[in-house]
Amino acid sequence: MKTITRFAPSPTGLLHLGGLRTALFNFLHAKSNGGKFKIRIEDTDQTRNKQESIDSIFNGLKWLGLEFDKEVVYQSHKILEHKKIINQLIENNFAYKCYHTDDEILELKKHKKKFKSEWRDNVNRSKNTQFCVRIKSPLDGQTIINDRIQGKVKVDNKELDDFVIMRSDGSPTFLLSSAVDDFLMSITDIIRGDDHLTNSFRQMVIFKYLDYVPTFSHMPLIHNENNEKLSKRNNALSIEEYRNKGFLSETIINYLLRLGWSYKDKEIISLDDAINNFKIEKIGKSPSKLDNKKLLFLNNFYIKTKNDDFIFNEIKNNSAFLKIKNTKEEISKIKNLINIYKERSNSLNEIVNNLISINEDVLTYSKEEKNILNNTEYLKTKLLDKLSLIESWDDYILENVIKEIIENMGLKFKDLGQPLRLVICGSINGPSIVKIMKIIGKESTLKKIKTNWK
């Protein structure tokens, strides 16, 4: 049987790392077994659905290269199928109509540890009375799931409730709809967060009726830096926000792969490597924790592997990039600056910010930076005099001129290097200041020194 997996998000918020990792591992399990990866949008909650969320899901998957079966299933389009199964469950004694009012349910729950409907085996009721439909969960024995991540997990059936599969307004519930949809989509492997493990136990009655036996894999959740479950409610960053912050798609893929899954001792893993080597049994049982330092390290690694044209094409659509002059002549300088800045940059936005500072004639400084410039202003005239005399503006000559000033005046490099970086780049740290001066040219260098060193 061909492996078929699915990613089934609800469009009530933007796609974040937790949901994306679920999609990634479903994709990898399918592709590593020569199967199909499908998408289902669980959009039955019409009051909370947002088109923005649906767009976020598809844009995020496309950006990361997670290709899916083009026949996307929208759960709201399958309601008639869901209701058909509900009626069959009632007819075959797998479910029943429950006529309890909300007040009666509250009262019964007060006196019993676990709610038990009095209508489970009672069929005598007026047809005009409002009702919901409940599944008839087994009363004794155990339900066992042989999970490919968690191992053998079981629950005593007395712990399972007769959950609602159709509300009193006639709408099917998530537990019913998702189970039926997995059956209708021929999903062979249900891979989802371990917070759904209880749902899997409860849905087994539906699966049994449908004669449907999928394989289960329940992944441990991702926790944020405060060790809280990563969720939309806790303001988890969306994938679009990571992209807007200057992260590359390869970075996000690599980072998510290492959140719970490992292949040998490899820290750097491409999507193709993962497809070729992915084994779902290798996912750990413990929750993974976000590590921003690791994310930035990976982003720096991948940025360094990109050519200058690629980075330029990525950042030119950044709104902040509009502040940079981009005539044909300037574009050549920009690409040369990208070449030296990408080695130290943890994000594309860092590159843009540095380019903006170099592009601006007048820079602003903190109090500490102003002190550095004030305390070294005596070097300004000396440096301008020497630089003005240079006819062949190349980094070799520039470096020797700076060395000569430092040696003649008995200075350390930082005594001249720090203020020089400040007036040209806007910060005291960065790549070779000589290389930057060479790229921006003599006129711009002298102008920035004259304007900002005061």
- Which amino acid appears at position 402 of this protein? I
Q: Which two tokens stand for residue 99?
A: 């006529």
Tokens 């190349």 belong to: 394
Residue 9, pLDDT > 80, answer yes
Is 100 a residue whose pLDDT tops 80?
Answer: yes
Question: SS3 for 134?
Answer: strand
pLDDT > 70? residue 232:
no
Considering only 114-123, 310-319, 389-398, which range has the smallest mean pLDDT?
114-123
Q: Is the pLDDT of residue 30 over 80?
A: yes
Where does the pLDDT of residue 127 fall: very low under 50, low under 70, confident under 90, or very high at 90 and above? low
Point out which residues pair with 222 in neighbouring strands.
288
What pTM was estimated for this model as a whole? 0.91
Distance of CA 30 to the CA centre of its chain: 20
pLDDT in tens, 43-99: 988 777 889 999 999 999 999 999 999 899 999 999 999 999 999 999 999 999 999
Question: What's the distance, Cα to Cα, between the start and end of the chain in Å?
Answer: 75
What pLDDT band is residue 17 in, cutting at 50, 70 and 90? very high
Pick 324 or 254 by higher pLDDT. Answer: 254
CATH of segment(s) 367-452: 1.10.10.350
The b-or-e profile of 309-342 (16+ CB within 10 A means b, else e) is: eebbebbeebeebeebeeeeeeeebbebbbebbb
Q: Count CB-CB contacts under 10 A for residue 378.
A: 8
The rounded distance, in Å, linking the Cα atoms of 22 and 260 is: 11
Q: What is the DSSP string of 259-293?
A: TT---TT-S---HHHHHHH--GGGS-SSPEE--HH
Q: Which residues pair with 41 in a beta bridge?
A: 74
Residues 140-167 have a mean pLDDT of: 95
Burial class (CB within 10 angstroms; exposed 0-12, middle 13-18, buried 19+) of 121: exposed
pLDDT at position 92 is: 96
Q: pLDDT digits over 287-313, tens only? A: 999 999 999 999 999 999 999 999 999
Q: Are 173 and 183 in contact (CB under 8 A)?
A: no
Average pLDDT over residues 235-257: 93
Domain ranges of the chain: 306-359, 367-452
- Orientation of helix 395-408 relative to helix 413-425, angle to 10°: 130
Classify burial at 225, counting beta carbons within 10 Å of its beta carbon; exposed 0-12, middle 13-18, buried 19 or more.
Answer: exposed
Select from 195, 202, 197, 198 the least CA-distant residue to 163.
202
pLDDT of residue 265: 85
- What are the tens digits of pLDDT across the range 433-444? 999 999 999 999
pLDDT for 23 beyond 70: yes
Q: What is the pLDDT of residue 67?
A: 96
Per-residue pLDDT of 374-424, as tens digits, reads 999 999 999 999 999 999 999 999 999 999 999 999 999 999 999 999 999
How far is the C-alpha of 80 from the C-alpha of 44, rounded, in Å? 12
Rg (CA), the chain: 31
Residue type, 85: I
